[in-house]
Each structure stands twice: as structure tokens, then as C-alpha cells.
Amino acid sequence: MTLHSVAQSWARACAAALVGVALTVPARAAPADYRFELVTQEAKVGEAVLTVRLTDTRSGQPVTDAVIFAKRIDMAPDSMDEMTSTLAQLPSTEPGLYRFKTKLTMAGGWRLSLGAKVQGETGTVSDRLVFRAVP
């Protein structure tokens, strides 16, 4: 064997090893790989329960183990950012659904802002969802 053929064999072995390692290490998702969406785009004024679905956009599968750590509801769509309401998380009724109890004090555009951590992923999944409160 020549030095050149030994070097080529060594390079091929290293490349194969790197491919093997790449195939065994699970790929990490980015926060952009997840999406919140409102189940309904309208809610009645007064006591309301808002339901949000969190989906892994790569697979279309629901995300069941997210920890919602930031939540806010306000009337920013109607230029009233200071008009807020209380927001309490409720137990989920099915995988991938996250529910929140609030009191919508007036009709108009409302924004639900959420921040979450998905188990096993780095980064924060966040979104601002707009819906209408109707009489």
C-alpha cells in the first residue's frame, strides 16, 4: 500500500464514521418549528375559555409536554395595549391543547401572547394570536 492509498482509506473511514454519528444524534428543533394556533377565532364577551393548539410543524403532531411560562391577553389589535385581563391556565382536555380562562370585558380585537418551553428543545416558542370578542 502506498501512503496515498492509506490516506484515502483513512479519509473514507472518517467520513463514514461522521455520517454514522450524524444519523444517531437526534436533530434539535428550532422554536420556529412549533406553532400555536387558536382553535376558534371568536369568543363571547364575559367569562371565556380560549383553547390553543401547539403543533410541531415538521411532523404536524401535537406537542403535549410544553410548559407555558408566559401568558398575556390584551386589546392591542384595537390599539388598546393597556386594556388587559386576567388569564389562568386550565387542564388540557386532549393532547396538544392548552386552555386558558379569561374575562373579556368588551367586544373587539384581542391578542393572546404565549411563551413556552418544549421538553428536550432549546429556545422559547412564542406567538401572538389575534381573535375577536363578540357580544
What is the reported pLDDT for 31? 74
> End-to-end alpha-carbon separation of the chain, Å?
85
**37 close to 62: Cβ distance less than 8 angstroms:** no
What is the reported pLDDT for 22? 40
What is the reported pLDDT for 15? 56
Strands 46-56 and 97-104, sheet pairing: antiparallel
CA 10/CA 29 separation, integer angstroms = 33
pTM of the model: 0.76
Q: Please give the grid coordinates belonging to residue 88.
A: 389562568
Full 3-state SS string of 22-62: HHHCCCCCCHHHEEEEECCCEEECEEEEEEEEEEECCCCCE
Q: Is the pLDDT of residue 82 over 60?
A: yes
Confidence of residue 4 (pLDDT cuts 50, 70, 90): low
